[in-house]
């Protein structure tokens, strides 16, 4: 891997923040990395494009300040939304696996330190030989529909005026439909009938796959679980249409997540049905 890395181009992160130059992911050459004194840091093999090998790594803390000479370390969530789809996918892949390495340094079976293998796509325990693979955590996110209205909720951490689709982690043993039904009953007291899969989106913060659905509500009385969400309300087509067309920021008006978010796409798909 060291030989390939010498010729490769490396996507670098600083504590999860990607290096960006001219609005795109910035790749460093091995020479640039050597000038930063980076060696012995776990490197992830991303793949080949023609003869060119691509890698990713999370910089050691003492190399971050100097690496900023090559670009800007940008907020990872905002960057995901601002990049073209192909670049966002590469970033999600790299960040998902690097996040996994950062929090899975020890064998979950016996507790011994595990070692990186297969270009970063696996860890092996030298003590008990268990193999560990990067994980993905499925999350259901759903737009609840009742006739000409949809249900949106807001968390206390959202900017003022912002509402979004309800969401939650799937539990072991659940189908997607069961997870959607359970989350809606828990968070908003809404019972649902049919569930339709619409689209999905990797969300590597730290390792989620968002599974986007539409769900038909069987009633419209809301009972909010205030631990999970602050408020949930029904919104009509006109309110959703105008919110999709304007940026967040006016606390007096309904705001929804930007176009890059799957919640936005679930609302748009409903309007276009």
Binding site residues, Zn ion, CB under 5 A: 107, 109-110, 112, 125, 127-128, 130
| Residue (111 or 236) nearer to Zn ion, CB | 111
- CA atoms of 142 and 265, how far apart (whole Å): 11
Least distance CB 110 / Zn ion (angstroms): 3
Among 23, 46, 21, CA closest to 96: 46
Do the Cβ atoms of 211 and 200 come closer than 8 Å? Answer: yes
Phi, psi of 177 (to 5 degrees): -60, -40
Least distance CB 56 / Zn ion (angstroms): 26
Among 200, 225, 57, CA closest to 140: 200
| Residue (123 or 214) nearer to Zn ion, CB | 123
The tokens 């999970």 sit on which residue? Answer: 228
Among 105, 102, 100, 103, CA closest to 115: 105
Contacts of 251 (CB under 8 A, 6+ apart): 159, 160, 161
- CA atoms of 197 and 185, how far apart (whole Å): 19
Least distance CB 123 / Zn ion (angstroms): 10
Q: What is the DSSP letter of 26?
A: -
| Residue (107 or 140) nearer to Zn ion, CB | 107
Q: Using CA of residue 25, residue 29, residue 34, residue 38, what is the dihedral sign?
A: positive
Crossing angle for the helix pair 237-244 and 262-272, to the nearest 10 degrees: 130
- CA atoms of 75 and 62, how far apart (whole Å): 19
């Amino acid at each position: 891997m060291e030989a390939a890395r010498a010729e490769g181009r490396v996507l670098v992160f600083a504590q999860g923040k990607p290096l960006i130059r001219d609005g795109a992911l910035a790749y460093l050459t091995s020479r640039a990395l050597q000038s930063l004194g980076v060696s012995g840091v776990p490197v992830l093999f991303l793949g080949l494009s023609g003869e060119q090998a691509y890698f990713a790594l999370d910089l050691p803390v003492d190399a971050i300040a100097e690496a900023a000479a090559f670009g800007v370390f940008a907020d990872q969530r905002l960057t995901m939304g601002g990049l073209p789809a192909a670049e966002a996918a590469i970033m999600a892949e790299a960040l998902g696996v690097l996040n996994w390495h950062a929090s899975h340094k020890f064998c979950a079976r016996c507790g011994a330190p595990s070692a990186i293998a297969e270009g970063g796509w696996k860890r092996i325990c030298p003590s008990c030989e268990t193999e560990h693979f990067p994980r993905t955590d499925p999350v259901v996110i759903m737009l609840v529909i009742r006739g000409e209205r949809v249900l949106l909720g807001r968390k206390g951490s959202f900017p003022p005026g912002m509402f979004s689709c309800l969401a939650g982690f799937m539990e072991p043993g659940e189908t997607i439909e069961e997870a959607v039904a359970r989350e809606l009953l828990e968070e908003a007291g809404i019972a649902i009938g049919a569930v339709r899969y619409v689209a999905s989106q990797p969300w590597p913060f730290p390792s989620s796959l968002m599974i986007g659905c539409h769900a038909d509500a069987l009633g419209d009385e809301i009972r909010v679980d205030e631990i999970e969400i602050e408020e949930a309300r029904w919104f009509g087509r006109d309110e959703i249409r105008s919110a999709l067309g304007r940026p967040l920021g006016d606390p007096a008006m309904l705001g929804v997540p930007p176009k890059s978010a799957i919640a936005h796409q679930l609302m748009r798909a409903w309007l276009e049905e």
